């Protein structure tokens, strides 16, 4: 692929590479950037399709894909440099975190909560095959890295089991919906503090339907608004 095709999006490459170099400072910035340029080489059809949708939506979609590319590259590089298998890397799901939070925040480290019937009931542990205590310690460490406001929101919701209206009143937040959104963001931030979401494998294809692309644009646009 010619540089002229990549150059309009180089600012995204620079931004994402810097973001993940800070998260994985053992990985050279230039190497992260090179892996992101490789995404463009491997996905020319997808780039063409997204550019046709419009600049704003294309930007959101490219940001999403390059962050995924950077996470996958950095996790693999870290695994290789530290001598463990990439399959040993554990990615936390928000549903798992929400199941663990009540026990973590109440310091009940040996009795993990099982309140969320919709979430995974027996999550796999990070390289330990079921070590819930290890998982709960990781959640606790990540929780302490959040802001005071985020910690308060999560504590009231998951430790005190307060409803959204009570939390809004306690913290002087404008509405229950605003509380719900802030808690959702706090949980997502907690997941990111523990390594982020699992990278997804993306293929270049000229056969993707316009409907599927529109759905993806809507999904990415929603996520961008929440961040």
Percent of the chain's residues with pLDDT above 70: 70
Q: Is it the case that residue 80 has pLDDT exceeding 90?
A: no
Interacting residues of 206 by C-beta distance below 8 A, sequence separation 6+? 45, 49
CA distance 223 to 185: 10
Average pLDDT over residues 37-54: 93
**pLDDT at res. 77:** 84
> Does 203 or 102 have the greater pLDDT score?
102
**pLDDT at res. 12:** 96
The closest of 24, 34, 1, 20 to 68, measured between CA atoms, is 20
Mean pLDDT, the chain, integer: 78
- Residue 47: pLDDT band with limits 50, 70, 90: very high
pTM value > 0.75:
no
The closest of 65, 2, 5, 60 to 35, measured between CA atoms, is 65
Q: Is it the case that residue 183 has pLDDT exceeding 90?
A: yes
**Length of the chain, in residues:** 227
């Amino acid at each position: 692929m010619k540089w002229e095709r990549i150059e309009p999006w180089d600012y995204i490459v620079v931004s994402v590479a810097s973001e993940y170099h800070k998260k994985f400072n053992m990985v050279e910035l230039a190497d992260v950037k090179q892996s992101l340029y490789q995404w463009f080489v491997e996905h020319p059809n997808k780039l063409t399709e997204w550019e046709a949708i419009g600049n704003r939506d294309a930007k959101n979609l490219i940001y999403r894909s390059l962050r995924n590319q950077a996470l996958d590259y950095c996790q693999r590089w870290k695994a290789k440099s530290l001598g463990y298998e990439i399959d040993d890397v554990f990615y936390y799901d928000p549903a798992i975190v929400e199941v663990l939070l009540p026990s973590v925040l109440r310091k009940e480290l040996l009795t993990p909560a099982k309140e969320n019937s919709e979430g995974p009931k027996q999550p796999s542990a990070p390289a330990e095959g079921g070590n819930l205590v290890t998982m709960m310690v990781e959640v606790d460490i990540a929780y302490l890295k959040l802001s005071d406001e985020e910690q308060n929101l999560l504590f009231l919701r998951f430790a005190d089991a307060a409803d959204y209206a009570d939390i809004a009143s306690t913290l002087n937040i404008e509405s229950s919906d605003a509380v719900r959104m802030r808690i959702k963001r706090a949980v997502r931030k907690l997941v990111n503090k523990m390594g982020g979401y699992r990278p997804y494998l993306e293929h270049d294809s000229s056969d993707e339907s316009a409907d599927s692309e529109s759905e993806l644009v809507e999904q990415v646009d929603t996520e961008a608004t929440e961040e």
